[in-house]
Amino acid sequence: MGGARLDQAGAVFGILHTDKYLHLKRAGPMRARPGAMGCARWTYARPQAGRETRMPCRRLPDPALDDPAEAAAMARAALAHP
């Protein structure tokens, strides 16, 4: 597991993960939006604990990958909630 944390002034709003996807924080105005667009929740296996961990992030939807304005709007919405 690894990647790059996305933050502004210390407020984390997303992760560019080694799975080649951008995951945005799912809080405030972003709570329902990615889920409604069918975006997968970020999870990862924890073999030592014998379970999967669910993170409070959702993958950026495919249409937003091709639309910089939509991607930026979603990033701003994720950043709006500390």
Mean pLDDT of the chain: 80
Q: What integer pLDDT is reported at residue 69 of this predicted model?
A: 94
Does the reported pTM lie above 0.75?
no
Q: Give CA–CA dist 29/42, Å, rounded.
A: 18
pLDDT at 1 over 80: no
Q: pLDDT for 58-78, tens place per residue?
A: 888 888 889 999 888 888 888
Contact 22, 54 (CB under 8 A): no
pLDDT, tens digit, for every residue of 34-59? 565 667 787 888 778 788 888 888 88
